[in-house]
A and B are shown apart, each in its own frame.
Chain A
């Protein structure tokens, strides 16, 4: 029987790991990731989970331990946050290139600008070029579900790629919320045991990750490129199967909210979607025909889905909860990727960027209202007014313009 529970995104993922019967988990504490290792350690001590827990002396070691365990044929997990994620940077490409489908939980955290520990997507987004499968969960339930879905996709014999279950630090990892822990029988039906074709075995010795000649590099990288395309094909199938077995209603790539008659949409990922939905209810009452598109995956990037969905709208406001200083268009990673996805589509909408929710700040209703106001101005102008806007810094909504005019009146010489 599925169990109704109250917990956080991290206890939810611990539930997923328990249900998936992981063999090895490699740990090193950093907030907010720490809570999942504490939870798993507790469950091992209580006899709820049978799993070997290995502590690294840092995140680089931690990810290497999970890599080694996976090579030996174990279903292995690990995870980190913020600067821990970047400390392990060297290990991500070899793990994906070695086709070791480990799973990492990343409760995101700022990259110390300096000393901040709030949620921000930048840490995990720096990994986007390494060949891991990942996307942001919106809440604890989706964190649990994404974990199971990721194991299923990543361990598919045709795929064999590592995955990240990413979620907003604090908002998902530490706010207590209701979720349902599925039944073991459901999970067993959905997720077959991990049986890799190759593993380190003294009876059938192999070399994994040997030194290769330069002309062997491109074919291996081509293979990694092709397999990512295969992931794009598998995600809808696996999601449909998941929905059927667990009675869920996930869209494969893009979760749409009130988009049927919308002129403008917010495009974002992660937990801020929760506030966004409730802001949209107020905005609708105020006459804004606005909706929301939430990305379920960042790698592979859902470009084909966006090419289908986005031409329905006139203005798209991409909300980046990350920084990519000097990026094309001046916004963050999502703005660049979204624009690139639909750049060749004939009836593409106007796409503008917003940077908001940095450093662990909540994107408030008021900020969503401001963004909607700016999108409305873009809609009325029929062209881009400002390529990207840092909310609360260089807004051009009605209130901001009035404040600016008041300043100029009070101190006309100020530049």
Chain B
């Protein structure tokens, strides 16, 4: 039986996703959760641009928030924050 391989696009170049990939949920890798202190946050969006997985969200109404379904807890956001507004809190401290 010849094996039928999946069709792969040229150089595996694909359109950027517009929805979350439920086939690769990575939030359960995290043991330290980023928590933003809205009182300190200046909304400079350094964390938003630095997140390697695009899991930092920003909106004018709510400011900075995190997509915890995919955030791996790498801590880059906390490191780049110029005002120290992002704390990394152990996952076991949370109910969910």
Contact = CB atoms under 8 A, between A and B. Distances in A.
Bind each other: yes
Interface of A: 97-99, 160, 197-198, 205-213, 215-216, 218-220, 223
Contacts of A160: 11
B16 A99 contact: no
Contacts of B6: 213, 215-216, 219
B13 A220 contact: no
Contact of B11 (A205, A211, A215, A220): A220
B18 to A, nearest CB: 9
Interface string B4-31: 0111101111111100000010000000
Given A215-B5, A216-B6, A219-B6, A206 B16 contact: yes
B11 A219 contact: no
Contacts of B8: 212, 216, 219-220, 223
B13 A207 contact: yes
Given A207-B13, A223-B10, 18 more contacts: A97-B11, A99-B11, A160-B11, A206-B13, A207-B14, A207-B16, A208-B13, A209-B12, A210-B14, A212-B12, A213-B6, A215-B5, A215-B6, A216-B6, A218-B5, A219-B7, A220-B11, A223-B8
B11 A98 contact: yes
A244 B7 CA distance: 40
Contacts of B12: 208-210, 212, 216, 220
Enumerate the 7 nearest inter-chain pairs by beta-carbon distance, A residue then B residue, closest first.
Answer: A205-B16, A99-B11, A219-B8, A219-B5, A198-B13, A216-B8, A207-B14
Contacts of A198: 10-11, 13
Interface residues of B, number: 13
A59 B12 CA distance: 26
A231 to B, nearest CB: 16
A294 B62 CA distance: 69
Contacts of B11: 97-99, 160, 198, 208, 220
A271 B10 CA distance: 37
A210 B14 CA distance: 8
A206 B14 contact: yes
7 contacts: A98-B11, A205-B16, A207-B15, A212-B8, A213-B6, A216-B6, A218-B5
Nearest to A96: B11
